[in-house]
Amino acid sequence: VPRNRQEVDRNEKVDDILRVGAHILRSEGYAGLSVQSVAAELGVARGAIYWYFRSKDELFAASAGRAIADALRHPPHTRTASSRIEWAVERLADLQPIHTALQERARYSLAVAALLAEIQEGLLGQLRNALRPHVVAARLDPVASVIFIHVQGTLSMQMAPRDRRRHLRFLLDELLGAPP
Protein backbone atom coordinates (compact mmCIF):
# COMPACT_ATOMS: atom_id res chain seq x y z
CA VAL A 1 0.00 0.00 0.00
CA PRO A 2 1.32 3.47 -0.85
CA ARG A 3 2.20 5.63 2.13
CA ASN A 4 2.41 9.12 0.74
CA ARG A 5 1.85 11.33 -2.24
CA GLN A 6 5.34 10.66 -3.56
CA GLU A 7 4.80 6.90 -3.71
CA VAL A 8 1.40 7.37 -5.36
CA ASP A 9 2.97 9.47 -8.10
CA ARG A 10 5.68 6.90 -8.60
CA ASN A 11 3.18 4.05 -8.90
CA GLU A 12 1.19 6.05 -11.41
CA LYS A 13 4.26 6.56 -13.55
CA VAL A 14 5.20 2.88 -13.35
CA ASP A 15 1.64 2.14 -14.40
CA ASP A 16 1.94 4.52 -17.38
CA ILE A 17 5.15 2.80 -18.48
CA LEU A 18 3.63 -0.68 -18.17
CA ARG A 19 0.51 0.37 -20.06
CA VAL A 20 2.69 1.51 -22.96
CA GLY A 21 4.99 -1.53 -22.66
CA ALA A 22 2.10 -4.01 -22.67
CA HIS A 23 0.55 -2.25 -25.66
CA ILE A 24 3.77 -2.36 -27.67
CA LEU A 25 4.27 -6.04 -26.77
CA ARG A 26 0.78 -6.93 -27.98
CA SER A 27 1.10 -5.02 -31.24
CA GLU A 28 4.77 -5.39 -32.18
CA GLY A 29 6.13 -8.18 -30.00
CA TYR A 30 9.41 -8.30 -28.14
CA ALA A 31 11.45 -6.99 -31.06
CA GLY A 32 9.31 -3.84 -31.12
CA LEU A 33 9.77 -3.20 -27.42
CA SER A 34 12.77 -0.96 -26.88
CA VAL A 35 13.54 1.40 -24.04
CA GLN A 36 13.57 4.08 -26.70
CA SER A 37 10.10 3.21 -28.07
CA VAL A 38 8.52 3.30 -24.60
CA ALA A 39 10.28 6.54 -23.67
CA ALA A 40 9.32 8.20 -26.96
CA GLU A 41 5.66 7.21 -26.55
CA LEU A 42 5.68 8.83 -23.09
CA GLY A 43 7.62 11.87 -24.29
CA VAL A 44 10.62 11.39 -22.01
CA ALA A 45 14.32 10.64 -22.53
CA ARG A 46 15.61 7.06 -22.67
CA GLY A 47 17.42 7.44 -19.36
CA ALA A 48 14.19 8.30 -17.51
CA ILE A 49 12.95 4.72 -17.84
CA TYR A 50 15.93 3.51 -15.82
CA TRP A 51 14.67 5.47 -12.85
CA TYR A 52 11.80 2.95 -12.64
CA PHE A 53 13.28 -0.23 -14.13
CA ARG A 54 16.78 -1.59 -13.72
CA SER A 55 17.06 -3.07 -17.21
CA LYS A 56 15.17 -3.70 -20.41
CA ASP A 57 14.43 -7.25 -19.30
CA GLU A 58 12.82 -6.07 -16.07
CA LEU A 59 10.72 -3.66 -18.11
CA PHE A 60 9.86 -6.51 -20.46
CA ALA A 61 8.97 -8.91 -17.64
CA ALA A 62 6.71 -6.39 -15.92
CA SER A 63 5.04 -5.40 -19.20
CA ALA A 64 4.45 -9.04 -20.11
CA GLY A 65 3.03 -9.75 -16.64
CA ARG A 66 0.66 -6.84 -17.06
CA ALA A 67 -0.47 -8.02 -20.52
CA ILE A 68 -1.13 -11.55 -19.23
CA ALA A 69 -2.97 -10.34 -16.13
CA ASP A 70 -5.15 -8.14 -18.36
CA ALA A 71 -5.95 -11.11 -20.59
CA LEU A 72 -7.00 -13.39 -17.72
CA ARG A 73 -9.19 -10.85 -15.94
CA HIS A 74 -12.92 -11.63 -15.72
CA PRO A 75 -12.97 -15.45 -16.05
CA PRO A 76 -16.43 -16.90 -16.84
CA HIS A 77 -18.65 -18.42 -14.12
CA THR A 78 -18.91 -21.85 -15.65
CA ARG A 79 -19.19 -25.23 -14.01
CA THR A 80 -17.11 -27.73 -15.98
CA ALA A 81 -13.33 -27.85 -15.76
CA SER A 82 -13.03 -28.32 -19.53
CA SER A 83 -14.80 -25.09 -20.40
CA ARG A 84 -12.78 -23.04 -17.90
CA ILE A 85 -9.55 -24.50 -19.26
CA GLU A 86 -10.67 -23.81 -22.81
CA TRP A 87 -11.50 -20.21 -21.94
CA ALA A 88 -8.04 -19.57 -20.44
CA VAL A 89 -6.29 -21.17 -23.41
CA GLU A 90 -8.26 -19.00 -25.85
CA ARG A 91 -7.23 -15.87 -23.99
CA LEU A 92 -3.57 -16.89 -23.65
CA ALA A 93 -3.40 -17.86 -27.31
CA ASP A 94 -3.71 -14.19 -28.28
CA LEU A 95 -0.51 -13.56 -26.31
CA GLN A 96 1.46 -16.32 -27.99
CA PRO A 97 4.20 -13.91 -29.22
CA ILE A 98 4.69 -12.61 -25.68
CA HIS A 99 4.81 -16.16 -24.38
CA THR A 100 7.58 -17.25 -26.76
CA ALA A 101 9.57 -14.12 -25.96
CA LEU A 102 9.25 -14.87 -22.23
CA GLN A 103 10.64 -18.36 -22.79
CA GLU A 104 13.51 -17.00 -24.82
CA ARG A 105 14.49 -14.16 -22.48
CA ALA A 106 14.15 -16.35 -19.38
CA ARG A 107 17.41 -17.94 -20.56
CA TYR A 108 19.25 -14.70 -19.98
CA SER A 109 17.36 -12.76 -17.32
CA LEU A 110 16.62 -13.83 -13.76
CA ALA A 111 13.74 -11.34 -13.60
CA VAL A 112 12.08 -12.87 -16.66
CA ALA A 113 12.72 -16.41 -15.42
CA ALA A 114 11.16 -15.53 -12.05
CA LEU A 115 8.05 -14.05 -13.65
CA LEU A 116 7.66 -17.03 -15.94
CA ALA A 117 8.00 -19.49 -13.05
CA GLU A 118 5.42 -17.55 -11.05
CA ILE A 119 2.96 -17.51 -13.93
CA GLN A 120 3.44 -21.21 -14.61
CA GLU A 121 3.01 -22.20 -10.97
CA GLY A 122 -0.14 -20.10 -10.74
CA LEU A 123 -1.66 -21.62 -13.85
CA LEU A 124 -0.74 -25.18 -12.85
CA GLY A 125 -2.30 -24.63 -9.43
CA GLN A 126 -5.54 -23.31 -10.91
CA LEU A 127 -5.55 -26.19 -13.35
CA ARG A 128 -5.24 -28.72 -10.52
CA ASN A 129 -8.12 -27.10 -8.64
CA ALA A 130 -10.31 -27.12 -11.71
CA LEU A 131 -9.55 -30.80 -12.34
CA ARG A 132 -9.83 -32.07 -8.76
CA PRO A 133 -13.58 -32.85 -8.81
CA HIS A 134 -13.26 -34.70 -12.13
CA VAL A 135 -10.21 -36.91 -11.61
CA VAL A 136 -9.38 -39.57 -9.02
CA ALA A 137 -6.67 -38.39 -6.63
CA ALA A 138 -3.98 -40.75 -7.89
CA ARG A 139 -4.30 -39.41 -11.43
CA LEU A 140 -4.60 -35.70 -10.55
CA ASP A 141 -0.91 -34.79 -10.74
CA PRO A 142 -0.01 -36.56 -13.99
CA VAL A 143 -3.25 -35.50 -15.69
CA ALA A 144 -2.77 -31.86 -14.68
CA SER A 145 0.87 -31.91 -15.80
CA VAL A 146 0.09 -33.44 -19.18
CA ILE A 147 -2.70 -30.92 -19.83
CA PHE A 148 -0.40 -28.11 -18.72
CA ILE A 149 2.34 -29.26 -21.08
CA HIS A 150 -0.21 -29.52 -23.89
CA VAL A 151 -1.32 -25.93 -23.30
CA GLN A 152 2.32 -24.88 -23.20
CA GLY A 153 2.77 -26.62 -26.56
CA THR A 154 -0.23 -24.95 -28.20
CA LEU A 155 0.98 -21.58 -26.92
CA SER A 156 4.46 -22.07 -28.32
CA MET A 157 3.27 -22.95 -31.83
CA GLN A 158 1.39 -21.07 -34.47
CA MET A 159 -1.89 -22.97 -34.84
CA ALA A 160 -5.32 -22.32 -36.29
CA PRO A 161 -7.83 -21.64 -33.47
CA ARG A 162 -10.01 -24.44 -34.81
CA ASP A 163 -7.19 -27.00 -34.57
CA ARG A 164 -6.21 -25.72 -31.15
CA ARG A 165 -9.73 -26.30 -29.82
CA ARG A 166 -10.02 -29.71 -31.52
CA HIS A 167 -6.76 -31.06 -30.14
CA LEU A 168 -7.39 -29.72 -26.65
CA ARG A 169 -10.87 -31.26 -26.57
CA PHE A 170 -9.52 -34.59 -27.83
CA LEU A 171 -6.93 -34.68 -25.06
CA LEU A 172 -9.43 -33.66 -22.37
CA ASP A 173 -11.86 -36.36 -23.53
CA GLU A 174 -9.11 -39.00 -23.50
CA LEU A 175 -7.89 -38.08 -20.02
CA LEU A 176 -11.15 -37.14 -18.31
CA GLY A 177 -13.52 -39.43 -20.21
CA ALA A 178 -15.95 -38.24 -22.88
CA PRO A 179 -18.76 -35.94 -21.65
CA PRO A 180 -22.20 -37.60 -21.16
154 in contact with a copy of itself (CB under 8 A): yes
166 in contact with a copy of itself (CB under 8 A): yes
Based on its alpha-carbon atoms, the radius of gyration of the chain, rounded to whole angstroms, reads: 19
Q: From the list DNA, a copy of itself, none, pick the one residue 83 interacts with, judged by a Cβ distance below 5 to 8 Å according to partner type.
A: none
d(CA 59, CA 64): 8
Q: From the list a copy of itself, DNA, none, pick the one residue 120 interacts with, judged by a Cβ distance below 5 to 8 Å according to partner type.
A: a copy of itself
The count of other CB atoms within 10 Å of the CB of residue 128 is 17
User: Per-residue x/- mask for DNA, residues 20 to 59, rule CB under 7 A?
Assistant: -------------xxxxx-x---xxxxxx-xxx-xxxx--
Minimum distance from CB of 113 to DNA (Å)? 15
Of 29-37, 59-67, 83-91, 127-135, which part binds a copy of itself (CB under 8 A)?
Answer: 29-37
Do 64 and 96 contact (CB within 8 A), yes or no?
Answer: no
Minimum distance from CB of 44 to DNA (Å)? 3
For 77, 98, 131, 161, 162, the CA distances from 156, given in Å and listed in that order, are 27, 10, 23, 13, 16
d(CA 170, CA 34): 40
60 in contact with a copy of itself (CB under 8 A): no
d(CA 160, CA 149): 18
Binding residues (CB under 8 A) for a copy of itself: these are 29-31, 97, 100-101, 103-104, 106-108, 120, 142, 145-146, 148-158, 163, 166-167, 170-171, 174-175
